[in-house]
Amino acid sequence: MKRDAFIFCSVFILLMTGCATTDDVRGIRGEVNYQIQSVNEKVAALESQYPLLNEETRKIRDYLAKTNGEFTPIRSALAEIRAEITDVKSKLQQLRGQIDSVKEEIRKETTSFAAKTVKREEAEKSLREKIDALSFKMNFLENFLEITKKNEQTQAPVDAGKSALPPAQSSQPADDSGRMDKSALYSVAFNLFKEGKYEKAREAFGNLLKQYPSSEFSDNAVFWSGECYYFEKKYEKAIVEYDKVIKGYPGSNKISYALLKQGLSFLKLGDKESARLLLQQVTKDYPNTSQARIARAKILEIK
């Protein structure tokens, strides 16, 4: 390479100085041709010396060209896969949004259902209380009807053309000793009870029991004395009065009521076990009565 540079520089200098002769030019041309021939000989020698290298180089070039052609559809497929992955990611994002929306709706529905359940339970509880109150009122009416029947049996027949006044409006007949008639005493006491004058009603029932301790009204008088205590929320004393009915008047039709009210009194006091036993006794001994129905409902409420 240094020699070639020297030749070119020499030619350039000669041309620039204008001193080059024809022989000089010929000499330089011969030298250049010699150098070109020398380079060609060297290249030919290298090719003849390393023929395999040229072949391998050609094969590598061919393989690279072929591989590059094969990668073209793969690159296209990868591009399509990337596009599909992007689309799937977008759909997943939309699906997550829908799931979150559904979760929120379910949460709202659950909250609303829970609130409705609470309201329904409160309504059912209120309805049960109303039913219990109505049942007790019916019991009172039943007892009152029994009282009327007893009064009718004990009262003397009235003259034709005259009508008998109800007990509350009677003239309170008295016997030979000046005592008020037992039916009148009972009617007065029961009317006081219906008016909610429980203390006075108790005194009136007690007065009846003192004057007529063994009358047909005795069991009722003791029972309604217990009811007076119950409505005054004096449950311990009410239990004692109910127990007097149960043990003192074994043939009384007030025993089922007394057992029921004893159970309810124990329930009010928080003694659930005693209440359950008494209520179960009512359902067992008096299965087809309103008292039994109330007892079963109360048993279900005890936890």
Angle between the N-to-C axes of helices 51-154 and 290-301, in degrees from 0 to 180, rounded to the nearest 10: 150
Residue 75 has pLDDT above 80, yes or no: no
Q: How far apart are CA 303 and CA 262, in angstroms?
A: 18
- pLDDT score, position 63: 74
| Buried residues in 96-124 as b, exposed as e (16+ CB within 10 A) | eeeeeeeeeeeeeeeeeeeeeeeeeeeee
Ranking 76-85, 168-177, 193-202, 211-220 by mean pLDDT, the lowest is 168-177
Q: Please compute the mean of the pLDDT values over residues 51-65 and round it to a whole number.
A: 70
Contact 35, 4 (CB under 8 A): yes
Name, of 15-19, 87-91, 133-137, 144-148, the range with top average pLDDT. 87-91
DSSP bridge pairs for 174: 180
Q: State the pLDDT confidence band at 12, using cuts at 50, 70 and 90.
A: low
Task: Map out the domains of the chain as residue ranges.
Answer: 2-49, 130-153+175-301
C-alpha distances out from residue 41 to 5, 29, 37, 49, 111, Å: 20, 18, 6, 12, 97
- pLDDT score, position 81: 86
Q: State the pLDDT confidence band at 135, using cuts at 50, 70 and 90.
A: low
- pLDDT score, position 108: 83
C-alpha distances out from residue 209 to 65, 178, 261, Å: 126, 17, 21
- pLDDT score, position 134: 62
Residue 237 has pLDDT above 70, yes or no: yes
Which amino acid appears at position 71 of this protein? F
Q: Kindly report the average pLDDT of the chain as a whole number.
A: 77
- pLDDT score, position 4: 56
Which amino acid appears at position 13 of this protein? I
- pLDDT score, position 71: 67
Count CA atoms within 13 Å of residue 240 on its CB side: 4
CATH architecture of 130-153+175-301: Alpha Horseshoe (1.25)
Q: What proportion of the chain, given as a percentage, has pLDDT over 70?
A: 69
Angle between the N-to-C axes of helices 290-301 and 272-285, in degrees from 0 to 180, rounded to the nearest 10: 150
Instruction: Report which DSSP code applies to 212.
Output: -
Candidates 111, 147, 135; CA nearest to 260 is: 135
Residue 68 has pLDDT above 80, yes or no: no
- pLDDT score, position 148: 44
- pLDDT score, position 202: 96
